[in-house]
Amino acid sequence: MFKNKSFIIGITLLILITSFVFVDNTVKGQERLVLATTTSTENSGLLDELIPPFEEKFDIRVDVVSVGTGKAISLAENGDADIILVHAKDAEKQFVEEGYGVNRRDVMYNDFVILGPPADPANIKGMKKAKKAFKKIADTESTFVSRGDDSGTNKKELSIWSSANVEPAGKWYIETGQGMGASLNVANEKEAYILADRGTYLAYSSDLDIEILVEGDPELYNPYGIIPVNPAYHSHVNYQMAMAFVGYITSQQGQKIINEYTAYGKVLFHPSAITSKNLK
Amino acid sequence: MDYIFSALKEAINLIITLDSEVTNVVGTSLKLSLTSTFLAALIGIPLGILVSKIDFKGKYFLNTVLNTLLSLPTVVLGLFVYSIISRKGVLGEWGLLFTIKGIIIGQVLLILPIVVALVRNAIHDIDEKMYKTALSLGATGSQKFRLLISEARYGIIGALITSFGRVIGEVGVSMMIGGNIKGFTRTITTAIAMETNKGRFGFALALGIILLSLSFIINFILYFFQSGESK
């Protein structure tokens, strides 16, 4: 049996390493709040500023799961999240009406921008109305990149197409099924038009040739709402802490953090739960 | 090319400065991969021996299923495990979603077929005469078991190396079941996916370099034990 000595040593070593790593386990036994949110929110870095003061105050760990708005909502519907922070007003309304969520509050907003190649083949630069710009893109059959992933941005894009009375389809319309960053890269490579949230665009802008062509239309307004999951529907959710988080994020302290947060030298989100004079 | 050089620089920088976020992510990845491989070995090695040495009805079918599972996409397995441990699922009450335990369950399921199939093959390759001699000399159950393991040890270590490689590099299960939660279930691979999405390609590549280096070190150790005594 001496022959398999080193085999046994190998296995023992594996066990030792395993148990060693087991000892060094991440925080245990602490209360947790699962927050499902959108990639754009987490990628912006805002949550890294916003969440720690709350965690400290309430001695809780907030676990942020960042996915598209559509998936965040379905996670919450399945009871796999305690609270969601998303941007898709109609879907949020439906989520509350169907009884999955309660006590929705406005938190903040930013805006979408329409990007395109500097050559601007559809000639939309400086247009005031997003839907008119979309119509022109469709009429000239200029390449347009859609996320096609049921995210908040994708939902907004589809609603602009429908208000422009265009059924986007054809060779010029590309659906990536990927996140904002990946889709921006596709649009850049294809010299195509794309709808993006301003925050993600700013994060990418140094690597992109496509630029902002249309902005400022009220239709491009991008409001974020926070909704706790209804405890009457999913009795296991941490409703109390979810409400505490709603209270915190809409409080003067939470709103101030949002107001003062900058990335890439720009303000990314504007608080909307309290009036600006209360931010002083 | 720029990315690659700046990534190399960033990777070295991250390792030297022991960036706390990076060490956390690396620790989580290591913990998960080693634990999953260990658990899969614990279950899979005996199963592999059984599948190889015991004849039963439907063995052909079972072997085909095993071989098929080797090509299971991680995302499909992730979806499957999600549907079970989601609050809506059969095991929903256990609250396993978005936890380390949940990921380990998914990863063990992912590599169990690999361990069983490769151990089965390794046992097949053993010289049949030796086993028969042991039987004729009246070897007990545990003696037979030890003989088989000892004779097939290279193949078994190979199975573990393959399994470890599969889990440390997988992203589907960790992402869907773990949720890429910062400081908790974020692994090297989910961090790479996220950083790529953020447009921080250099940082993502740096993490990739760290992952490969880790994998190299662990394989180096395992290979040392695999070849150490064949001299």
Q: What ipTM was reported for this prediction? A: 0.82
**Amino acid letter at B217?**
I
The enclosing H or E element of B155 equals: helix B153-169
Domains along the sequence of chain B with CATH: 20-229 (1.10.3720.10)
Of A13, A34, A203, the CB nearest to B198: A203
Of B30, B98, B228, the CB nearest to A63: B98
Q: With CB atoms and an 8 Å threshold, state whether B199 touches A207.
A: yes
Give the mean pLDDT of A80-107.
Answer: 95
Give the mean pLDDT of A171-183.
Answer: 90
Mutation target for B interface from A2, A14, A176: give the one with most B CBs within 10 A. A14
Q: How far is B154 from chain A (nearest CA, A)?
A: 9
Of A13, A34, A182, the CB nearest to B98: A34
Give the mean pLDDT of B145-157.
Answer: 88
Q: In this model, does residue B186 exceed pLDDT 70?
A: yes
Provide the pairing of β-strand A105-116 with A270-271.
antiparallel
Beta-carbon count within 10 A of B133 CB: 12
Q: How far is A256 from chain B (nearest CA, A)?
A: 24
**Amino acid letter at A232?**
A
Q: With CB atoms and an 8 Å threshold, state whether A204 touches B87.
A: no
**Beta-carbon contacts below 8 Å between A and B:** 102
pTM of the model: 0.85
* Phi, psi at A145, each rounded to 5°: -105, 125
In three-state secondary structure terms, A262 is strand
Give the mean pLDDT of B165-176.
Answer: 94
Residue A139: closest CA among A163, A127, A159, A123 = A123
Question: Which of A170-184, B3-17, B39-53 shows the lowest per-residue confidence on average (mean pLDDT)?
Answer: B3-17
Give the mean pLDDT of B186-198.
Answer: 89
Q: For residue A262, how far is the Cα from the chain centroid?
A: 17
Report the distance separating Cα B133 and Cα B144, nearest Å.
11
Beta-carbon count within 10 A of A278 CB: 12
Residue A164: closest CA among A203, A200, A133, A122 = A133
Please report which confidence band the pLDDT of residue B218 belongs to, taking 50, 70 and 90 as the band edges.
Answer: confident
The enclosing H or E element of B199 equals: none
Q: In this model, does residue B3 exceed pLDDT 90?
A: no
Question: Which of A29-33, A160-164, A245-249 shows the lowest per-residue confidence on average (mean pLDDT)?
Answer: A29-33
Q: With CB atoms and an 8 Å threshold, state whether A14 touches B37.
A: yes
Mutation target for B interface from A63, A71, A201: give the one with most B CBs within 10 A. A63
Of B88, B146, B183, the CB nearest to A26: B183
Report the distance separating Cα B174 and Cα B171, nearest Å.
5
Question: Which of A16-20, B86-90, B195-199 shows the lowest per-residue confidence on average (mean pLDDT)?
Answer: A16-20
Report the distance separating Cα A148 and Cα A161, nearest Å.
13
Q: Tell me which chain A residues have a C-beta less than 8 angstroms from the C-beta of B199.
A: 181, 184, 200, 203-204, 207
First vs last C-alpha separation in chain B? 43
Question: Which of A103-117, A136-150, B12-26 shows the lowest per-residue confidence on average (mean pLDDT)?
Answer: B12-26
Mutation target for A interface from B75, B93, B143, B198: give the one with most A CBs within 10 A. B198
Residues ≥6 apart with Cβ < 8 Å to B77: B106, B109, B110, B172, B173
Report the distance separating Cα A98 and Cα A24, nearest Å.
43
Give the pLDDT confidence score for residue B231 in this predicted structure: 42
Which residue does chain B place closest to A48, by CA atoms? B182
Q: With CB atoms and an 8 Å threshold, state whether A79 touches B184.
A: no
Q: What is the pLDDT of residues A43-71, one digit of tens each?
A: 888 999 999 999 999 999 999 999 989 99
Give the mean pLDDT of A3-22.
Answer: 61
Report the distance separating Cα B195 and Cα A109, nearest Å.
24
Give the pLDDT confidence score for residue B145 in this predicted structure: 85
Average pLDDT, chain A: 90
- The residue written with tokens 């040392």 in the block is B224
Report the distance separating Cα B215 and Cα A182, nearest Å.
27
Is residue A69 within 8 A of residue A86, CB to CB? The reply is yes
Give the pLDDT confidence score for residue A24 in this predicted structure: 45
Report the distance separating Cα B65 and Cα B63, nearest Å.
5
Q: With CB atoms and an 8 Å threshold, state whether A63 touches B35.
A: no
Give the pLDDT confidence score for residue A280 in this predicted structure: 75
Q: In this model, does residue B26 exceed pLDDT 80?
A: yes
